[in-house]
Amino acid sequence: MNIILLGPPGAGKGTQARFLCDERDMIQLSTGDMLREAKDSGTEMGKIVADVMARGELVTDEIVIGLIREKLKGDKKGGFIFDGFPRTLAQADALGELLAEEGETLDAVIEMQVDDNALVARITARSTCGSCGEVYNDNTKPIPADGKCSNCGGTEFKRRADDNEESLKQRLMEYYKKTSPLIGYYYAKGQLSSVDGLGEMAAVKADIAKVLG
């Protein structure tokens, strides 16, 4: 089963993707994570994308489509969860073609709906474990008092450089201008389902499970 989690930054795509990986042996393909990795390891591509990401703009379709193309050739396990990809109509078309080349299908597109005020509050409060990527929130899921990650015991936590109000505004603008048309695109293809992304993590998880059956 291959699925897309679609929604603005902070909608909870990464958190839900991690649940699906654990429970359904799926593979999370987050272009944001891949780009941050390239940036941190100082590759040529990483250098090219660093400024664009810091500003909250989208990197070129060519770069992200290339990243996804490589991953689709690898192990498919229980299927792919596309998290943060596609973000433009050109990327959506390319994904359809790449899946077809691999003899795969897109089985569901799940739109995670959240209101904009909640997004800003969530994003400016979030951090992740530097070892395992577990997501924390200063208000709703604070880092444990002993300073150890509840998932892996790691003691280093990171905040994303682009999780500040200014780049967030730009990221939201990019979402509304370039990514939100995908809601209509997948609706017209009969592949769209929507869940309320504002609820408790467990409730959102249950709604997604219902969609996937």
Binding of ligand AMP by 12 (CB under 6 A): no
Query: Which residue type is seen at 80?
Result: F
And the tokens for 120?
């800003």
Q: Evaluate whether 24 touches 140 at the Cβ level (below 8 Å).
A: no
Binding of ligand AMP by 59 (CB under 6 A): yes
Query: Which residue type is seen at 203?
Result: A
| Residue number with CB closer to ligand AMP (26 or 31) | 31
Binding of ligand AMP by 126 (CB under 6 A): no
> Is 86 one of the annotated binding-site residues?
yes
| Residue number with CB closer to ligand AMP (186 or 213) | 186
Whole-angstrom distance, CA of residue 27 vs CA of residue 83: 10
Is 171 designated active site? Answer: yes
Q: Is 15 exposed, middle or buried (0-12, 13-18, 19+ CB in 10 A)?
A: buried
And the tokens for 85?
């990809």
Is 69 designated active site? Answer: no
Kindly tell me which residue out of 6, 27, 35, 109 binds ligand AMP, with binding defined by CB under 6 A. 35
Catalytic residues: 13, 87, 126, 160, 171
By the criterion CB under 6 A, which residues form the site for ligand AMP?
A: 9, 31-32, 35, 52-53, 56-59, 64, 84-85, 87, 91, 162, 171
